[in-house]
Structure 1
Amino acid sequence: MKPQLKTIKSEIEQYAQHSNKTELQVIEQLKDYYFNKKVNDNLKQYKKGTKKVSEITKDLRISPRKFYAILQKKNIQHTTYNKVKDQTKQDE
């Protein structure tokens, strides 16, 4: 395990030197890349209807509100639920 970590660390350092970025910036880019890849895989399953929102948010470790924001950003149709009751009914 340690030799693998050393090779990964050295590759990240080499890439950081060539791209004029810090190691932390490189790691953030990798994190964003793999998160987006995972999101896209889950969105495909959501479109097919094989996976529910609750399962996806558990897998991605994000809130449902954040997931719906991703859906809106990518222009994917979804049902919206209005949690606020009509005040006209309450006034009667």
Structure 2
Amino acid sequence: MTDPAFDTTVITRAFTGRPARALRNHFVERYDRVAPVGYPALHHLTGRLRRAATAAGDTRLIHLWAGTGHRHARTEPAARTFARLAGRL
């Protein structure tokens, strides 16, 4: 099940300096417009913040990589997912 607080994905450079699709959260809202194109330097600069936020369970400050279809994700064993995607179910 997905968190209803995260209903939008965006392309952002806020966490790493390289474009990637993520769920829109506080960090993306605040820093996307001013994030430099600086991979991998920005990735390393934000690393400690991301690790601390992850340890604290703070989803406002971590990268939440997700595709546009993230709401269609299922909770199931990986083997079942692969079988389903391969058309064997």
TM over 0.5: no
More strand by share: 2
- RCO (CA 8 Å, sep 6+): is it higher in 1 or 2? 2
Larger Rg: 1
More helix by share: 1
Band of TM-score, shorter chain: under 0.3
TM-score (norm 2): 0.25
